[in-house]
Chains A and B, each alone.
Chain A
């Protein structure tokens, strides 16, 4: 199982997770028993048509939602949803999020948006300055650090979002259709950037997409359909 051939636990693991939404009297089975392992250093696409459960899966992996049944393990320990696991500090310290609609804080500059998680982590101002500068240079936006989100293009905004997800050097970055709201040329740029970060810094990426072009960048593809994994999970 483990690519590196050691006994280490997978980074994230799901066992038989089911997610059912109840809408009035009808039940929507968004995920129907998924068991998946994700190893450190992966660059994996979760693909599938709209409504197949990609967002739901990423939300569960990102600990911002809880499964109806089944378990999620993070670095070998089971995630508890009853308050025993401090989910927000795990999200802060170990996970990074990239959203389809960027979700930057509009009143903050690019710099301040990226700095925000570091404030939550109570980093000193010297550390913050160092870390923000490093990551903003990595996404090639240092010159734009004083710009507010509405003064940036879609691609630039998403790069700010990537920088924000990356700044505290998380174990895992979850990106829900990160390129769906930007043109294809810029989308490739974003994917190249993510790819570089993955290869050079060994950042683990899980991203969802229903775009064939985007899938081509992935090293592994998990195909979802109606909340189940399609046969032949493929390794590119």
Chain B
């Protein structure tokens, strides 16, 4: 049976190459389609990768650990549902494979005052040295510098302000401001902090309200030893899911949020571009199907008498149809393979030629045009392009198999 299939495959193979010019044209369309999809897909994959890493390193880290309750209920008081023994947890986390480092953060809010006026703020208590390890935040200060690395030496409690908030507070470097919040026990507390730097988050709404202080400063004003969350940074993004599962097992009362659970912007960008890419795929699929079904139809029309002969000598209609579908499959597979090779070549060429894309809106610098070679994309495009000619051969093949034998034989 299998043997018989390969025999008919051989016949289809020979038929594919009887009209080389036409096969070449169909092949060319396939090559074009495969190349276009792989380059577009590779560029999108490259962009996703960039966006993913900047999402992780700009803010989220790979995994964030919360008290289970924190995500379920509103806190009545600051840090009420925080993590208790952050330091002990950190030690354990550091033992886990692929963990580069872990750091605590505290989210809190309150009022900030310069003596003349007060504004609401969204504060974050951080471990400055580790925040700098995660991102290039320290290098992107608008003015001044990031929080001091070693809090034990600090005489003053330091603060860095987001640019909008600095402006409303009319704060200059070295100024003292007062933070006011409720503590974890419900009392009111105030603390003077010294402005050491001003930064921008890139998101205007945040820039109006955000500020950062050292973790110990935050704990001091909130009167608590707890932290809101632990941020875990890995050496490989691909390990995120595995490590998160491992951490949840380690700490039963903790929920591990993976970066993509938290990255709403990244997720919506990915969804949008995947939709665009899917649409592109459909368009190319349709173009290839239409153009190749036309040539397929022509080649069947030319062979009408031969089809009549094959049916007369006892070929079943199903067999005949299959033989034509094989032809489609053969052209598809060969064209798709050639397309992959060419697409790969072009990718390498592009990646080596240092083409710069113009700066996107809101940025001052352009970025290099690069395309990732994603194995799954190659597999997907290969299957899709191989299928196009199978699909486009089905209707002509069916028509051929329905021909009336006497009419077909009489066809000149």
Most chain-B CB neighbours within 10 Å: which of A90, A97, A119?
A: A119
Q: Count residues of A near B (Cβ-Cβ below 8 Å).
A: 29
A91 touches B312 (CB 8 A): yes
Q: Mark B78-115, 1 if CB is under 8 A from A, else 0.
A: 00000000000000000000000000000000000000
Contacts of A119 in B (CB 8 A): 4, 7-8
List of A residues within 8 angstroms of B54 by Cβ: none
Contacts A103-B306, A106-B18, A108-B14 given; indicate if A122 touches B406 (C-beta within 8 A): no
Residues of A within 8 A of B306 (CB): 103, 105-106
Q: Does A88 touch B at the CB level, under 8 Å?
A: yes
- A88/B314 contact (C-beta < 8 A), A64-B405, A64-B409, A105-B306 known: yes
Given the known A-B contacts A120-B319, A125-B3, are A105 and B309 also in contact in the complex, defined by CB atoms under 8 Å? yes
Nearest residue (CB) in A for B320 is A88
| Of A89, A107, A165, the contact of B15 (CB 8 Å cutoff) | A107
Bound-state CA distance A149–B8 (Å) is 19
A-side contacts of B3, CB under 8 Å: 125
Task: Closest B residue to A59 by CB, please name it.
Answer: B406
Contacts A64-B405, A105-B309, A106-B306; is A88 near B18 (CB within 8 Å)? no
Which of A64, A90, A93, A105 has a CB less than 8 Å from the CB of B406?
Answer: A64
The answer on a CB contact under 8 Å between B406 and A88 is: no
Interface 0/1 of B1-43, CB less than 8 Å to A: 1011001100100110010000000000000000000000000
Residue of A nearest to B310 (CB): A105
B contact residues around A112 at 8 Å (CB):
11
Q: Nearest CB to that of A176 among chain B residues?
A: B409
**Total A-B contacts with CB atoms under 8 angstroms apart:** 68
Interface string of A80-111 (1 = CB under 8 A from B): 00000000111111011101010101111000
What A residues does B18 contact at CB under 8 A? 106-107
Contacts of B317 in A (CB 8 A): 88
Residue A62 is within 8 A (CB to CB) of chain B in the complex: yes
Selected contact of A120 from candidates B305, B309, B314, B406, CB within 8 Å: B314
Check B311 for interface membership: any CB of A closer than 8 A.
yes
A103 touches B309 (CB 8 A): yes
Closest to A94 in B: B314
Q: Which residue of A lies closest to B305 (CB)?
A: A103
A142 at the interface (CB under 8 A from B): no
Cα–Cα, bound, A99→B409 (Å): 9
Q: Are A122 and B313 in touch, CB under 8 angstroms?
A: no
Q: Are A65 and B309 in contact (CB under 8 A)?
A: no
Among B3, B8, B14, B319: residue with most chain A CB under 10 A: B14
| In the complex, chain A residues whose CB is within 8 Å of the CB of B14 | 107-108
1/0 contact string of B245-263 vs chain A (CB within 8 Å) = 0000000000000000000
Q: Name the residue among B15, B310, B313, B409 with the largest chain A CB count within 10 angstroms.
A: B313
| Interface-central residue, B1, B311, B319, B405, by most chain A CB under 10 Å | B405
Measured CB to CB, the closest approach of chain B to A151, in angstroms, equals: 15
- Are A93 and B310 interface neighbours, CB within 8 A? no
A67: which B residues are within 8 A, CB to CB?
A: none
The smallest beta-carbon distance between B220 and chain A, in angstroms, is 87
Residues on the B chain within 8 Å of A164, using CB: 313
Please determine whether B406 and A117 come into contact, CB atoms closer than 8 angstroms: no
Q: A103-B305, A108-B11, A108-B14 are in contact. Are A65 and B405 (CB under 8 A)?
A: yes
A62 in contact with B7 (CB, 8 Å): no
Kindly state whether residue B315 has any CB partner on chain A within 8 Å. yes
Enumerate A144-201 residues with CB–CB distance to B below 8 Å: 164-165
Q: Which of B8, B15, B305, B312 touches A64 (beta carbons < 8 Å)?
A: B312
A73 at the interface (CB under 8 A from B): no
Residues of B within 8 A of A95 (CB): 314
Query: From residue 282 to 312 of chain B, which have CB atoms closer than 8 A to chain A?
Result: 305-306, 308-312
Q: For the complex, what is the distance from the CA of A131 to the CA of B311, rounded to whole Å?
A: 21
Cα A95 to Cα B313 in complex, Å, equals: 8
Q: How far is the CA of A203 from the CA of B169 in the complex (A)?
A: 110
- Between A and B, 26 residue pairs with Cβ closer than 8 Å are A59-B406, A64-B311, A64-B405, A64-B406, A64-B409, A65-B406, A88-B315, A89-B316, A90-B314, A91-B313, A92-B313, A92-B314, A92-B315, A96-B313, A101-B305, A103-B305, A103-B306, A103-B308, A103-B309, A105-B309, A107-B18, A108-B11, A119-B4, A119-B7, A120-B313, A120-B315
Among all A-B residue pairs, the 7 with the closest Cβ atoms: A92-B314, A107-B14, A103-B309, A91-B314, A64-B405, A65-B406, A88-B316
